[in-house]
Amino acid sequence: MIADFLLIDNSNSFTKFSLAWRDRLGPARKLPTKDVTPAAVKKTLGRWRWKGVVLSSVVPEKGDVLERALATTPVLRVSSKLQLGVGIEYPKPATIGADRLANAAGAFVLFGAPIVVVDFGTAVSFDIISGAGNYVGGVIAPGLEAMTDYLHQRTALLPRITLLEPPSAIGKSTKHAMLAGAVYGYRGLVRQILKEIGKDLGIPSNMPVVATGGYAELIAAGLPEIKVVTPNLTLEGLRIIAGLNGM
C-alpha cells in the first residue's frame, strides 16, 4: 500500500522516518543524523512507497541531502511560512526551529490551548501556545545527555553513564551519584522553568504540559507537572501540517 506521506524529523542526533496516512502514523525507522547520505536513506527506507514528503530539519546540510535524495515526489519543508494551524506571535518567525513548529502544530490539535510542549532532545526545548492559539515563544536549555557527556569528557575519573532512574538521592557509587545529580537535578531545572512559564502565562497551577523526545518518559516519571508523554508528537505535527497545506 502506498502511504500518503513520508514524514521526516531530521534532528541533531537521529533522523526519524515514518510512513503516514491523513488520519494516522504508520511504521517508523531511524538513522543517526551523522550517517545521512543518499545511499543510507535509500537503504533505510527500503521498499516503502509514498505520495509526498514532509521534512522537518534542524540540520540544514543534512536537510538539503534529504530533500535532494527524495525529490522524485513532492517535498514540503516545514517553515513558519506554511499553514500550521496555530498563529505565530513572535518577532522573527523564520528563526523558530522546524521541529518546534511541528510540535506546536501537533500539540494544539491533539490537546488544545494553552499548552506547553517540552521536547527532551539533544537540547531540551519548551514551546508555548497561548490560550488564543498562538505560538508565543519558548525556552532552550542543554539536553540531559549533553550534560552527562560533558562531565565524562571534562573529567579524568567520571564515566559515561546510561541514564535511568537512580535508586535514591544519595549516591553509593560514582555512577549512582552521577545518576542522582543528572535525573533529580534535571527534574529541578524543568520544574523551575515550567513554574516561570506559568507565571508569565498567568497559569500558576495545573498548567497543561505535554512532553516528547528521547528522555521524556524518564524525566516525566518524577514530574507531576507534565500531564502526558507523546513520543511521536513531532511526527504527528508533520502529519497535521501536511493536511493543512494540501498535500
Residues 183 and 241 in one domain: yes
Q: Centre a 10 Å sphere on the Cβ of residue 235 and count the other Cβ atoms it contains.
A: 26
Q: What is the CATH number of the domain that holds 211?
A: 3.30.420.40
pLDDT value at 157 more than 70: no
Residues 42 and 70: their CA atoms lie apart, in Å, by 9
pLDDT at residue 146 in the model:
80
The phi, psi pair for 3, rounded to 5°, reads -75, 155
Cα distances from 85 to residues 2, 40, 50, 96, 99, in angstroms, run 26, 33, 24, 15, 15
Domain membership of residue 188 (yes or no) is: yes
Pairing assessment for the beta strands 3-10 and 50-57 based on DSSP bridges:
parallel
pLDDT at residue 193 in the model:
96
Residues 73 and 104 in one domain: no
Residues 53 and 103 in one domain: no
Residues 56 and 109 in one domain: no
Averaged pLDDT, 42-50 = 97
- Known catalytic residues are 99
Q: Which residue has the cell 543518499?
A: 38
Type of residue numbered 101: L
- Using CA atoms of 106, 96, 221, 29 in order, give the dihedral in degrees to the nearest 10: 60
Averaged pLDDT, 88-97 = 95
Q: Show the domain range for 43.
A: 1-77
pLDDT tens-digit profile of 54-68?
A: 999 999 999 999 999
69-78, 119-128, 142-151, 159-168: which range is least confident on average? 142-151
pLDDT tens-digit profile of 14-33?
A: 999 999 999 999 999 999 99
Averaged pLDDT, 184-189 = 94
Residues 106 and 52 in one domain: no
pLDDT tens-digit profile of 119-131?
A: 998 889 999 999 9
**Strand ranges across the sheet with 75-77:** 24-32, 14-21, 3-10, 50-57, 75-77
Percent of the chain residues topping a pLDDT of 90 = 82
pLDDT at residue 131 in the model:
93
pLDDT tens-digit profile of 190-220?
A: 999 999 999 999 987 889 999 999 899 999 9
Residues 168 and 125 in one domain: yes
Residues 142 and 220 in one domain: yes
Query: Which of 77, 107, 122 is where one domain is finished?
Result: 77
Q: How many domains does the chain have?
A: 2
Residues 125 and 209 in one domain: yes
Residues 63 and 152 in one domain: no
pLDDT value at 155 more than 90: no
Tell me which of 123 and 234 has the higher pLDDT: 234
Domain membership of residue 83 (yes or no) is: no
